[in-house]
Chains A and B, each alone.
Chain A
Amino acid sequence: MKSHPSQEQLIDYLHGELAPGEDAGVLLHLEGCDPCRTRYEDEARLSESLRSFARASEREFPPGVRASILSAIETSQSQPGWTGRLAGWLRPVVAIPVAAAVVIAAFAGYDSALHSGRTTIDAAYYLDDHAALTSAVPFSEGNIVPTALFTTENADGTQ
């Protein structure tokens, strides 16, 4: 590749989206062109920051959420007839969104409790400290990968 790769090409190269021939051309170019390598590294850093942010923001429903929804569906389907008018409210078309809303509200409550200012300690710290202290045990694996290499949290607990 004689000309400098475009920004789009660099981004596609970073994500392995280029065709093999074009990919090899960009690689060769980067090895000999400092300005383009700097652009590439800037792009890689930005990409990694976004990925770290996405990882840190990623959340899963707490255990039991799926079970709660399924339980709500089952309950709505097995209501006896004597409930009459009430049964109308428990039809799946109504009950499922209601159950989901309740569960999401509960999840939000759980989430806000976690971030309500009450101190929490990341489980990674305990796993890491356990591995560090077991390194004095004969033939232990010790710390294969220190937390420092895969957490976004600093030593003082800040991000």
Chain B
Amino acid sequence: MARNNGLLFFAALALGVTPSPPPPADLLRDAMTAPQRISYVGEVQVLRIGAQHSDATIYRIEHRAPDLTRRWYLAPQDLYGDSIVSRGSTTYSIDVKRQHVVVSQGEDADQQIAERGNFDILMANYHAVYAPDENLSGRTVHVVLLNNKYTGQTTMRVQIDAQTHLLLERQQYATNGSLIAQTRMEQIRYTNAIPAALFQIPSGMARVNGAARGQESTDVAQVISSAGFAARVPKYLPEGFSPIAGDVVSIKNVPTLHLIYSDGIRTVSLFQNEKDAAVDLSHYRAIATTVADHPAHYVEEGPTVLLAWADGNHHFALVGELSLEELEKIGASVLP
């Protein structure tokens, strides 16, 4: 049956049939799951634009549905030749310069459930509306704008292949309307002829385990109660934000609670520990600021801002694609 569907799909592609678009919410939902049924190769360009600096990443991508993906980095120069292979829930980061492979475990099944829940949050906070169709790299794309229900501003613009419903481009905007991130797929080619050997992990390289991650859960109250210390939560969040997940992980033997809040597009993470373990910002250009009169520092990685401060032995870090002012406001509400 699946094979017949595949044949019909490629027959439709060959005939150049462009079906009329479904309601935008249905198209978005379909776009989320498109990679599970469509195989393709292409080149992805990612731009992340910050107030202080921006960065660009370009990688070749080969994806064999449902869950084999290889990303081969072309830029920046430091990453040239490195690659990431995802096989189901396991990700292999292949570092050719250091001749090792970092193995990380994900949680695909849970993630799919979480994605469905987060899609509902997205639809609760954003209006999805069509803009006129466009042409991207020779393919007709449906353009969907996601407008924030509270501010009326367009927060995201996505371009979805009219035939395959694969997401080909996304642009995210800050609250002031400036572009903060853009991901674009170019040279897209749909094919089922991607050899499995492409997703093999090279032998002869040392294998190391990736950073330990906690057991992520959408039951945030349970995660907080399992932290082992008196965790604090923000009393203020931007409109539409709610807790979506959390985990507790031991980093260098320091139990660290990670809570993540989202409005369906924008996200902010709150990390905290009560073991006097400060955030080491020495590899970054840290700038001094305050959080409710507490000395604090922040760093920027493209549009992502990390704000760190302490209250006694209780150390906090807020990370998100929000403005510094918003993060400081959230941070101030975390303090008792």
Among A45, A121, A136, point to the contact of B251 (Cβ < 8 A). A121
Among B104, B115, B183, B306, point to the contact of A126 (Cβ < 8 A). B306
A150–B79 CB distance below 8 A: yes
B118–A127 CB distance below 8 A: no
Segment at the A interface, from B4-12, B185-193, B194-202, B253-261? B253-261
Bound-state Cα–Cα, A121 to B244, Å: 24
Q: Determine whether A80 belongs to the interface, using a CB cutoff of 8 Å to chain B.
A: no
Among A59, A130, A135, A137, point to the contact of B304 (Cβ < 8 A). A130
Which chain A residues border B279 with CB–CB below 8 Å?
Answer: 120-123, 126
Q: Determine whether A133 belongs to the interface, using a CB cutoff of 8 Å to chain B.
A: yes
Among A126, A136, A141, A144, point to the contact of B118 (Cβ < 8 A). A136
Question: Binary interface profile of B, 300-336, with partner A (CB < 8 Å = 1, else 0)?
Answer: 0100101010000000010110000000000000000
Which chain B residues border A159 with CB–CB below 8 Å?
Answer: none
A126–B283 CB distance below 8 A: no
Which chain A residues border B301 with CB–CB below 8 Å?
Answer: 127
B97–A45 CB distance below 8 A: yes
B93–A146 CB distance below 8 A: yes
Segment at the A interface, from B15-23, B228-236, B269-277? B269-277
Report the interface size for chain A: residues with CB under 8 A from the other chain: 45
A48–B267 CB distance below 8 A: no
Question: Binary interface profile of B, 176-218, with partner A (CB < 8 Å = 1, else 0)?
Answer: 0000010100000000000000000000000011111100100
**Chain B CB within 10 Å, residue with most, of A63, A120, A124, A128:** A120
Write the nearest CB–CB distance from A51 to chain B, whole angstroms. 9
Given contacts A63-B297, A119-B277, contact A126 B271 (CB under 8 A): yes
A149–B280 CB distance below 8 A: no
Q: Is the interface of B mostly helix, strand, loop or mixed?
A: strand
Which chain A residues border B281 with CB–CB below 8 Å?
Answer: 123
- In the complex, the chain B residue whose C-beta lies closest to that of A135 is B111
Q: Determine whether A34 belongs to the interface, using a CB cutoff of 8 Å to chain B.
A: no
A141–B95 CB distance below 8 A: no
- In the complex, the chain A residue whose C-beta lies closest to that of B209 is A155
Among A119, A123, A147, point to the contact of B306 (Cβ < 8 A). A123
Among A114, A137, A144, A148, point to the contact of B104 (Cβ < 8 A). A148
Which chain B residues border A122 with CB–CB below 8 Å?
Answer: 279-280, 283
Bound-state Cα–Cα, A141 to B95, Å: 21
Which chain A residues border B226 with CB–CB below 8 Å?
Answer: none
Given contacts A64-B288, A127-B301, A146-B210, contact A139 B93 (CB under 8 A): no
Q: Determine whether B141 belongs to the interface, using a CB cutoff of 8 Å to chain A.
A: no
Q: Determine whether B68 belongs to the interface, using a CB cutoff of 8 Å to chain A.
A: no
B118–A132 CB distance below 8 A: no
A119–B275 CB distance below 8 A: yes
Instruction: Tell me the A residues contacting B by CB distance below 8 Å.
Output: 44-45, 48, 52, 59-60, 62-64, 114, 118-141, 144-150, 154-157
* Given A138-B122, A141-B181, A148-B95, 15 new contacts (CB under 8 A): A119-B254, A121-B251, A122-B279, A125-B251, A126-B269, A126-B271, A126-B279, A130-B319, A133-B269, A136-B114, A146-B102, A148-B102, A149-B82, A149-B102, A155-B210
The 6 closest A-B pairs by CB, nearest first: A148-B102, A120-B280, A136-B114, A130-B319, A130-B269, A148-B93
Supply 27 A–B pairs (Cβ within 8 Å), ascending by A: A52-B98, A63-B287, A114-B280, A118-B276, A119-B252, A119-B254, A120-B277, A126-B279, A128-B211, A129-B269, A133-B258, A136-B114, A137-B262, A137-B267, A138-B115, A138-B264, A141-B181, A144-B57, A145-B79, A146-B91, A146-B93, A147-B211, A149-B73, A149-B79, A149-B95, A149-B102, A155-B209
